[in-house]
Chain A
Amino acid sequence: MKIVIDLDLCAGHAQCEDAAPEVFRVNDEALVEVLMENPPESLRAKVEDAARRCPTDVISIVD
């Protein structure tokens, strides 16, 4: 799976980091950083949770 983000929409809520800290982190510019652009399948549930919990729909998962 591939993580695609729209940084213009990021408002720094960090819910993604909470759901999948292996994949997402909010940096000092208050924007999300993708730590793994192609996370392993084992992280799918967490990544999908992160996408759902983002208040501003930043994250898309492309299979």
Chain B
Amino acid sequence: MADTRDLHLPFEVEVFYIHHWVLVSSPYIIMWLKHVPLYNPRVMYAWLVLLAYHFHVLLPASVMFGANISYMMSPPRGKVLHAFGPWYRFAVSFVCLGLTAFARHVIVGGVSTAVSKLHQSVLPSAMQSKAWIASKFTGHIAVAQLSTGFHTSRPSSHGD
């Protein structure tokens, strides 16, 4: 179960669960909305941003306010992380590197690949070849040629 030991106010636990289930489901909902374009993975950069946020923002804030924000002061319950002693943050960091790659390439990428395969099986062959292209590189839906001025190829990094 989630760590809800500090939640005592009325409906605080329910709001916690609703909030986190919304966060869990929102990648798929927003991808389905097609409100923003989907970009290629940048696993190391995203991991570094989160790492620096934890070590440069959360750890000083935890020390300053005496709060255990995102478990930066002491590990959560369980024997596994306590076995690492004071080095549990680095253990979690390197586990999170794998989780970042897994989240981007497998959870998100796998679902969108399955959706694109489904569309490929449903759509007529002419649309398969032109409109719906499953990108082999990322495994994401690449919807091309639906409008002018849109490209699925890699833009040149020198020109602009």
A, B assembled together:
no
